[in-house]
Amino acid sequence: MSKIASKDDAPLLRMHNIGKRYGGVTALDRVDFACRSGSIHAVLGENGAGKSTMIKIIAGVVEPSSGEVFFDGRRVRFINPAEATHNGIVCIFQELSLLPDLTVADNICITDPPRRFGLIDGRAQRRRAAELLARVGCADVHPMELVKDLSLSRRQMVEIAKALGRNPKLLILDEATSALTAADVASVYAILHRLRDDGLAILYISHRMHEIAELADVCSVFRNGRHIETFPKGSHSDDEIVELMIGREYRHVFPPKPARSAPPPPVLAIERLTWSPRLHDISLTVGRGEIVGLGGLDGQGQRELLLGLFGVLRGVTGTIAVEGRAVRPTSPRQAKTPAVGMALIPEDRKTEGLMLPMSVRDNVSLASVAQLTRGLTVDRAAEARRIDEMIRQLAIKVDDIDRPVATLSGGNQQKVVIAKWLMTSARIILLNDPTRGIDVGTKQEIYQLLRKLADRGAAILLYSTDYDELVGCCDRVAIIYQGRILRELRDAEITEHNIVASSLNLGLSGGAGAAA
Amino acid sequence: MIELRLWISQRSGMLLAIALFVLMFTIYIGNHPAGLTVNVATTAANKGVLLALVAMAQTLPVLTGGLDLSVGMVFILCNCLASHLIIGSPFQVALGIAAVLATGIAAGAVSGAIVVYGRLQPIITTLATGAVYYGLALLLRPVPGGEIDTDLADFITYQLFDTVPTTLVLLAIVATAVWLPFRLSETGRGCLAVGSAEGAAFMSGVAIDRAKLLAYVLSGLLAAIAGLLLTFITFSGEASAPAGGTYTLNSIASVVIGGTSLFGGSGGIIGSIFGAFVLRTIEDLLFVFDLPPLWQPLFQGIVLLAAVSLGAGRVFRVRNRLELFG
């Protein structure tokens, strides 16, 4: 598959026919991939393209369902990260692998500390940590500080120092620069170039196109669990790379969007909402009957925006107005009161959406128990009527509403979460990636439902990691990049190409030029 | 200079416990009719060291993010066993001590293995194993009694060179022999790593199973040493359920007062020792001020609440309310 393979030097890492399935979902499909020493190899793809799964297989975090991995000329099968590290594969993951309660020196030398008389030599360990910190340009971090007392950017630099201390042959960076300050990014680039010249193989996953232009020697594009193409830097334009990432795929069926002559009156108006350092000056309106999408790459602040509106975050500044009245909910309990009228369908239904061991009945009515209470007790008849109505409206497949909700399928569970919030008669519905991990049929039912709710007057703010969904569902899409709204797409501008390009902070097609 | 500042700030809980103990003990001695005599110190030391050893045993599982409700029962079991075995020729006594310590290690290993390999929650696991150990203690000593080598017992519970309480020396030796290698070994640091962030520890290639198992094994060993000491102090064995329960709960209190986080990952044995001393000194203070000993639980509760409140400041700094539940 690799188009740059030459015959005389064998690749350091070679993956052959790798497949990985999670239940019925194929995360990787017959992937062949190779990377070689002395080069920086960028891996590109949309959310869910299979990049992370591949990295996890290389690092020994997950085992492939099929296929073979060769490293340094030998067939390998790592059963845990320790074994991969031992063989010279070192990973820097998006979620930091640092131990917050331990010191920087302890963290850097966690698996292979210097010893004296069989015990850890604290002084030598501090010295080694100081050396490595100096190497990554972080001499200001003291080895005895606790990791939890460092800023996020410094922590990430400690993570990089820790990785270098393990003398890798293959260094993998998975979005490792996402939290770095500009100064730290510059020193990371310098280190990576030096390591490459020293003969290391570096796998680099990033969503920032300009980083790839600056760093990579070779690029590989993944899509839908497949390795699409590997090419040397400069052989494709940015536009062509975006096309490779999107490809031609199965399209969902979406309900038609209403034609509008004028923008509808806003129900939710956000002005200069800030929660530093994750959100900056977010101004956005959602009108009556409108579905507004939040786009962009994962983790740019979309989740925080929804949580901030719903009263989960402390220290949010800026104004939030509902129907023209300023509101400032300080808890979900306040956010759902009729005066505010918000509902949030959370990202993870298992931890934030459902009480899994409780019955379908109790889950559906949980958020509206107060509304259903007459005197001191819940009006069981009214509750049953409302639940019945919801189950019919959402077509939840359940034979007995006293069953624990854990026994339902993923799609039906998600419908229970939605039903819970519809029962509160909210006027503003916030959705955080509501179709993740559910089947296509249920997805389409949810699309229909969202449009129906909008037509009845709800204002809907939808964050989705599936660009297709944003294109098909939304009247407007706000692209968030590093905590700011980078661009707002409307009507014919809402195309997958424009969303992907904006998410990567590139110009729109048609040569509009890159935005700042 | 910066080293010193970091060193102090990272051990504030422990230093606070030491300061509190010094303050309380000074008041106690100041008001004691006899002042600081060797006998007063030895009595205080014997009681304090007993709880300190059990508190040390509790600390290790807590550091891994767990809890060991069986420490008090291992302590009682070893007391009952020792009341049978620590008698006879010096060789027999030595063999008896070894058998008691081995029993503690085995008890800890069983709890640890169930937690690590059975993946059960530490609280319920150790509640169950604790009941089993207490059951065994009852079989060994249906009624209080037993006989032990009085020469050895006297040696341990009096003074060294007529000046230093022997139990304090013993405590210092045990603490150094356990904590130093623990803090400076890969497995020991693995315990802290597991308690700090188990997922990150796994991703860093830390041997997490071995670390957790070691914490429970050492916990059993320390509880066994405490059981031996109890036998030397009382000259007998007694399968007392109230004593076992009280020691377990007081050990948790000592750990918290000593600055170890119940979430795991930070703290240490030295803090727990002084946490235990603080709890013990409350009793002595009530005595010198002629207050009824019935007030002791009330004061212990207040001290514990105050200690826990110091650690609660975090709650006010959390910016994402969801993190309050994590």
Q: How far apart are CA A265 and CA B167, in angstroms?
A: 79
Q: Given an 8 Å threshold on Cβ–Cβ distance, is A99 in contact with B201? A: yes
B261 touches chain A (CB under 8 A): yes
A446 inside domain? no
Cis peptide before A265 (omega within 30 of 0): no
How many domains would you assign to chain A?
4
Mutate to test the interface with A, among B4, B176, B204 (most CBs of A within 10 A): B204
Lowest mean pLDDT among A207-221, B16-30, B87-101, B199-213: A207-221
A464 inside domain? yes
Q: How confident is the model at residue A139 (pLDDT cuts 50, 70, 90)?
A: confident
Lowest mean pLDDT among A23-37, B79-93, B118-132, B168-182: A23-37
What's the full length of chain A, in residues?
A: 516
Same domain, A216 and A84: yes
Classify residue B91 as exposed, middle or buried by CB count within 10 Å of its CB (0-12, 13-18, 19+): exposed
Same domain, A472 and A483: yes
Return the higher-pLDDT residue of A269 and B310: A269
Q: Given an 8 Å threshold on Cβ–Cβ distance, is A120 in contact with B185? A: yes
Same domain, A21 and A123: no
In contact, B35 and B190? CB cutoff 8 Å = no
Q: Given an 8 Å threshold on Cβ–Cβ distance, is B321 in contact with A100? A: no
Instruction: Please compute the mean of the pLDDT values over residues A291-320 and round it to a whole number.
Output: 91
Q: Residue B203: which of A81, A146, A275 has the nearest Cβ?
A: A81
**Predicted pLDDT at A513:** 38
pLDDT at residue A510 is higher than 80: no
**Predicted pLDDT at A91:** 87
A101 touches chain B (CB under 8 A): yes
Residues with Cβ within 8 Å of B311's Cβ and at least 6 positions away in sequence, in order, are B13, B256, B261
A80 touches chain B (CB under 8 A): yes
Same domain, A78 and A183: yes
pLDDT at residue B83 is higher than 80: yes
Instruction: Please compute the mean of the pLDDT values over residues A235-247 and round it to a whole number.
Output: 79
B320 touches chain A (CB under 8 A): yes
Query: What are the structure tokens assigned to B107, written together?
Result: 């008890």
pLDDT at residue B180 is higher than 50: yes
B92 touches chain A (CB under 8 A): no
β-strands A373-374, A377-378 pairing = antiparallel
pLDDT at residue B269 is higher than 70: yes
Same domain, A271 and A335: yes
Task: State the residue range of the domain holding A370.
Answer: 348-425
Q: How confident is the model at residue A23 (pLDDT cuts 50, 70, 90)?
A: low
In chain A, helix, strand, coil percent, each to 5? 35, 25, 40
Query: To the nearest whole number, what is the mean pLDDT of chain B?
Result: 87
pLDDT at residue A515 is higher than 50: no
Final residue before a domain boundary, out of A197, A214, A247 = A247
pLDDT at residue A512 is higher than 70: no
Instruction: Please compute the mean of the pLDDT values over residues B211-221 and round it to a whole number.
Output: 94
**Predicted pLDDT at A5:** 42
In contact, A420 and A352? CB cutoff 8 Å = no
pLDDT at residue B138 is higher than 50: yes
Q: How far apart are CA A127 and CA A114, in angstroms?
A: 10
Domain boundaries, chain B: 37-267
Express as a percent the part of chain A with pLDDT over 90.
31
Q: How confident is the model at residue A3 (pLDDT cuts 50, 70, 90)?
A: very low
Q: Given an 8 Å threshold on Cβ–Cβ distance, is A352 in contact with B206? A: no
A2 inside domain? no
pLDDT at residue A359 is higher than 80: yes
Distance from CA of A93 to the nearest CA of B (A): 9
Q: Residue A314: which of B184, B192, B319 has the nearest Cβ?
A: B319
Return the higher-pLDDT residue of A477 and B156: A477
Which letter, b or e, does each residue of A42-76 get, where b requires 16 or more Cβ atoms within 10 Å of its Cβ?
Answer: bbbbbbbbbbbbbbbbbbbbbebeebebbbbeeeb
Same domain, A122 and A191: no
- pTM, two decimal places: 0.75
Express as a percent the part of chain B with pLDDT over 90.
39
Lowest mean pLDDT among A91-95, A220-224, A321-325: A91-95
A449 inside domain? no
Query: To the nearest whole number, what is the mean pLDDT of chain A?
Result: 85
Q: How confident is the model at residue B297 (pLDDT cuts 50, 70, 90)?
A: confident
Q: How confident is the model at residue A245 (pLDDT cuts 50, 70, 90)?
A: confident
Q: Which of chain A's residues have a Cβ under 8 Å away from the Cβ of B185?
A: 118-120
- What's the angle, vertex CA A148, arms to CA B195 and CA A483, rounded to 5? 120
Same domain, A42 and A191: yes
pLDDT digits 0-9 by tens, A437-480: 676 677 888 899 999 999 999 999 999 888 888 988 999 999 99
Final residue before a domain boundary, out of A214, A247, A280 = A247
Phi, psi of A222 (to 5 degrees): -115, 150
Cα distances (angstroms) measured from residue B312 to each of B301, B306, B307, B316: 17, 10, 9, 8
Q: Which of chain A's residues have a Cβ under 8 Å away from the Cβ of B201?
A: 99, 110
| CATH number of the domain to which A79 belongs | 3.40.50.300
**Predicted pLDDT at A327:** 92
Q: How far apart are CA B182 and CA A118, in angstroms?
A: 12
pLDDT at residue A1 is higher than 50: no
Q: How far apart are CA A286 and CA A322, in angstroms?
A: 10
Return the higher-pLDDT residue of B224 and A45: B224
Residues with Cβ within 8 Å of B191's Cβ and at least 6 positions away in sequence, in order, are B60, B63, B64, B182, B211, B212, B214, B215
pLDDT at residue A188 is higher than 50: yes
Q: Residue B322: which of A102, A119, A312 has the nearest Cβ?
A: A312
- What's the angle, vertex CA A365, arms to CA A361 and CA A366, rounded to 5? 110
Q: CB count, 10 Å around CB of B190? A: 25
Alpha helices in chain B (DSSP H): 2-9, 12-31, 38-63, 71-85, 90-117, 122-140, 150-157, 166-183, 186-196, 198-203, 208-234, 241-257, 269-288, 296-310
Alpha helices in A59-181 (DSSP H): 81-86, 104-108, 122-135, 152-164
Same domain, A154 and A275: no
Q: Given an 8 Å threshold on Cβ–Cβ distance, is A99 in contact with B265? A: yes
pLDDT at residue B107 is higher than 80: yes
A454 inside domain? no
Distance from CA of B191 to the nearest CA of A (A): 11
